Amino acid sequence: MRSYTFASSALLSISGVAGSVLMNNGLAATPQMGWDNWNAYGCDVSADLLLDSAQAMADLGLRDVGYHYVILDDCWSDGRYENGSLRPNFEKFPNGMAAIADYIHSLGMGYGMYSSAGKYTCAQYAGSLGHETTDANTFASWGVDYLKYDNCYNEGQSGNPNISYARYEKMSTALNNTGRPILYSMCNWGQDRPWDWAFTIANSWRATGDITDFFDRPDVRCPCEDKEGLNCEFPGFHCSVMNIINKMVWTIQRSQPGGWNDLDALEVGNGGMSDEEYKLHMTMWASMKSPLLIGTNVQTLDAKSYSILTNPAILALSQDPAGAAIIRRWSYQVPQKDIFGVGEVQMFSGSLSNGDYAVVLLNAATDEMHMNATAGDIFVDEGGKISAAAKSAWDVYDLWANRMPDSVANQILQSNGTAGFSAAQNYYYNATAQSYADGIAANDTLLMGTKVGTLEALGTLKAMVPAHGVMAYRLRPSNATAVSKRDEL
């Protein structure tokens, strides 16, 4: 076993109206970022896994682009002590949980843990239903900064928003009463429409069934599709990326600073999708303002996955202080369908801080497609083609054109970051040196992307979009301050 040196260590009314009182713990002003072990490891957890992964995140610069939380998912406990408090599995975690937290804190990151609002967790370990105050105090005493709170074995306490709200509100109150800021990540899979009420008690809420590492594969274990997801009685699991996107377009406007629709952890790096599909996955999670939780083995990360996870221009969409998710403006079925009969194209747009706009052209068809977005469609929320925005000229910046080359990513990965960053100045953004908000305000080219043209007044943005891929753009008024290049990381 590797050795480590450790440092010492009010009920709100339910409302579906955006702008209501949010979870008041001062956390998640932008969607949280971090790493969760579940997608890659499941129940195969240990102290070494947590500590080695945290160290890798620091060494490889993932921490410094914003991936702050290291989250231990299910399967860590060994029942309860006689006094009712949770007992860690000391075979897996011989020094206990506070030691894990201390080491992660020493790296400048936050420590996350898992429980369930049920008698048992999903893997049938001790759950927190009926033990909310005791368990919240235990988590706080261990130095926990983040709680993922699942929905398994809830003893029938679901079926309408009031019942689910009451069950999850108990842990919210208990966490707040500890006096320790703990980000509260609800995971009730979209049951009972959490986007209508969870923002009063939680910092994020899972809004669909569990993700799987497929782009667009129907699966009976994820039975609801498209608008059915609004009232899905069994959200399930094995939900593909496109299944989740097509369900979330109906509720995404519920996200706002302090409370976010959670589309589940990222699958980038796990091998089930192509590079273009992973780019689409990352782009949509970032621009729809989902939390960004890496779900792969960060100790064996490959170059392409690293460059996707650290793309500054995409992360700047996620961490934009306005907190506004992009909105789907149109969607069309096309003849170029896959073996499951699925094929469509979609266009999204939305406002960003500093007067910028985001545009995403999504091609879920099997062939590359010529796609376009008119100014009237892009700026429909401003009044469409009669709006001042549509009648203005906009500079267009491609958010993937300056993607880190594999050769540069490999220098970072192979040197454990110690020597590789000198070659990455034109591709890597250190958000601990300057925040994404400040970088955008300073017109940093790494965050803006690469200028590829101008959308003229009442014009049309045109692009060739790869199969199962996206083209993503930032638009800025043509008369805005010119972008500038920083001289240092």
Mind telling me the catalytic residues?
150, 210
Strand pairing of 183-186 and 146-150? parallel
Instruction: For the chain, give the number of residues.
Output: 489
The DSSP secondary-structure symbol of 484 reads B
What are residue 138's phi and psi, to 5 degrees?
-65, -50
In whole angstroms, give the CA distance from residue 449 to residue 444: 9
Contacts of 386 (CB under 8 A, 6+ apart): none
3-state helix, strand, coil in the chain (%, to 5): 30, 20, 50
CA distances from 56 to 203, 297, 425 (A): 27, 10, 20
Quick one: tokens of 151?
Answer: 């929905």
In whole angstroms, give the CA distance from residue 65 to residue 433: 10
* Bridge partners of residue 465, in order along the sequence: 369
HSE at residue 51, side-chain half, CA atoms within 13 A, is 22
The DSSP secondary-structure symbol of 326 reads P
Burial class (CB in 10 A: 0-12, 13-18, 19+), 277: buried
Strand pairing of 357-363 and 344-351? antiparallel
Run of H or E residues at 369: strand 369-374
The answer to whether the CB of 306 falls within 8 A of the CB of 59 is no
In whole angstroms, give the CA distance from residue 321 to residue 448: 15
